[in-house]
């Protein structure tokens, strides 16, 4: 059909008088151009791809940039300054965070990564739960603790923030129900190395802390608390990680905006 229309329009244009209606000639010329485009699948694909490219580099990019501008503004309005962790020196590099301190002749190092650490702490069920919104988004990364003796002997503990930590104001005296742990963080694994390592080799045996004697577990928690790694430390660490992770997220949005400009 389009091929026949092209042939007819070409014949008509050649044979029409010079004073023939100009509008008709222009219309037929455009028809010929359009038909030549659709007569070849390759031409049609190229045209569609060009339109898609033009859209993605023009309108869509501008739309994304405008959205990111507003999103960055909103995130900054809700951001909090990155606070320190009392008693520890903190160094951050991208998603990695390292905290260090001294305790007598021991060196203590805590390391973590804020990637994938955010969690939406929803408020517990209550009589007026329907009117209560979800809790804030917090960063609760897993972290490792190394306590290094002068000889190099190193106690290594892998830890996580307890998911069943009680919510402030929550009634914990309900009879017949298992009470949540009082600890803000838990020990997952434990091992002892001859010297500190940046990464623990897979061949090293790591004891499962959930299987050790309960009394020994409590003593280990007291051992950490004596070295400044207790509930107060864990609370400050959550505050630090939450603010720092949010800072990195805002930086990501800014980088994305600069990319699509």
Q: Would you state the pLDDT for residue 31?
A: 46
Residue 241 lies in a domain: yes
**Cα(95)–Cα(247) distance, integer angstroms:** 11
- 63-76 pLDDT per residue, tens: 999 999 999 999 99
Q: In this structure, are 253 and 165 located in the same domain?
A: yes
Q: In this structure, are 26 and 141 located in the same domain?
A: no
Look up residue 56 and give its two tokens: 């993605």
- 116-171 pLDDT per residue, tens: 999 876 555 554 544 445 578 999 999 999 999 999 999 999 999 987 554 444 44
Q: Given CA atoms 15, 20, 22, 27 in this order, what sign does their dihedral have?
A: negative
Q: In this structure, are 143 and 89 located in the same domain?
A: yes
Contact 110, 144 (CB under 8 A): yes
Q: In this structure, are 210 and 116 located in the same domain?
A: yes
Q: In this structure, are 12 and 95 located in the same domain?
A: no
Report which of 87, 79, 75 is spatially closest to residue 235, judged by C-alpha positions. Answer: 87
Per the structure, the complete domain to which residue 254 belongs is given by 85-259
Residue 207 lies in a domain: yes
**What total of structural domains would you count in the chain?**
2
Last residue of a domain, one of 20, 41, 57: 57
Q: In this structure, are 204 and 156 located in the same domain?
A: yes
Q: What are φ and ψ of residue 192, in 5° steps?
A: -125, 130
Q: In this structure, are 155 and 246 located in the same domain?
A: yes
Angle in degrees, 0-180, between the axes of helices 231-260 and 59-77, rounded to the nearest 10: 150
Q: In this structure, are 47 and 114 located in the same domain?
A: no
Residue 73 lies in a domain: no
Say if residue 108's pLDDT is above 70.
yes
Q: In this structure, are 135 and 247 located in the same domain?
A: yes
Q: Which residues pair with 111 in a beta bridge?
A: 98, 144
Sequence-separated (6 or more) residues with CB below 8 Å from residue 225: 231
């Amino acid at each position: 059909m389009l091929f026949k229309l092209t042939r007819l329009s070409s014949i008509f244009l050649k044979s029409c008088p010079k004073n023939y209606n100009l509008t008709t000639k222009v219309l037929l010329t455009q028809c010929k151009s359009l038909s030549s485009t659709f007569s070849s699948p390759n031409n049609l694909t190229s045209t569609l791809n060009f339109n898609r490219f033009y859209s993605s580099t023009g309108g869509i990019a501008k739309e994304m940039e405008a959205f990111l501008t507003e999103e960055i503004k909103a995130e900054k309005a809700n951001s909090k300054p990155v606070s320190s962790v009392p008693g520890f020196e903190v160094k951050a590099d991208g998603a990695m965070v390292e905290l260090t301190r001294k305790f007598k002749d021991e060196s203590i190092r805590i390391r973590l990564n804020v990637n994938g650490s955010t969690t939406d702490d929803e408020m517990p069920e209550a009589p007026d739960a329907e009117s209560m919104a979800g809790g804030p988004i917090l960063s609760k990364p897993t972290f490792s603790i190394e306590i290094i003796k002068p000889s190099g002997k190193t106690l290594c503990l892998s830890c996580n923030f307890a998911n069943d930590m009680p919510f402030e104001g929550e009634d914990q005296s309900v009879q017949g129900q298992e009470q949540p742990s009082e600890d803000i963080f838990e020990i997952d694994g434990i091992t002892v190395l001859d010297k500190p390592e940046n990464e623990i080799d897979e061949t090293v045996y790591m004891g499962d802390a959930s299987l050790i004697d309960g009394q020994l577990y409590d003593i280990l928690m007291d051992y950490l608390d004596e070295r400044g790694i207790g509930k107060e430390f864990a609370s400050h660490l959550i505050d630090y990680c939450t603010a720092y992770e949010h800072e990195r997220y805002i930086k990501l949005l800014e980088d994305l905006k600069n990319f699509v400009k």
